[in-house]
Amino acid sequence: MLIVSRRPDESILIKLAGGVDDSLTLKELFAQGPIEITLLKGKGRNVRMGIAAPPELSIRRKG
């Protein structure tokens, strides 16, 4: 699980990881399970979340 903090107007990107066959169907991509986002903590304008996703997906901070 990746844990990130985000503020208003900041984003995360979820896309195919490098080297993964881009012809995978959604069924194949999510065969190991769904993307799960858990809100862990909120303080002021910050939110801390945990993201669990199949290994074929890359999760990165943006902004």
Domains of the chain: 2-62 (2.60.40.4380)
Question: Residue 52 above 90 pLDDT?
Answer: yes
What digits encode the pLDDT tens for the residues 11-43? Answer: 999 999 999 999 999 999 888 889 999 999 999
* pLDDT of amino acid 7: 92
Closest by CA position to 34, among listed 16, 15, 17, 53: 53
Those residues with Cβ within 8 angstroms of residue 47's Cβ, 6 or more apart along the chain or in another chain:
5, 6, 7, 39, 41
Question: Model confidence at 54, in pLDDT bands (50, 70, 90)?
Answer: very high
What predicted TM-score, i.e. pTM, was given to this entire model? Answer: 0.77
* pLDDT of amino acid 32: 85
**Cα(12)–Cα(4) distance, integer angstroms:** 9
SS (H, E, C) 1-25: CEEEEECCCCEEEEEECCCCCCCCC
* pLDDT of amino acid 49: 94
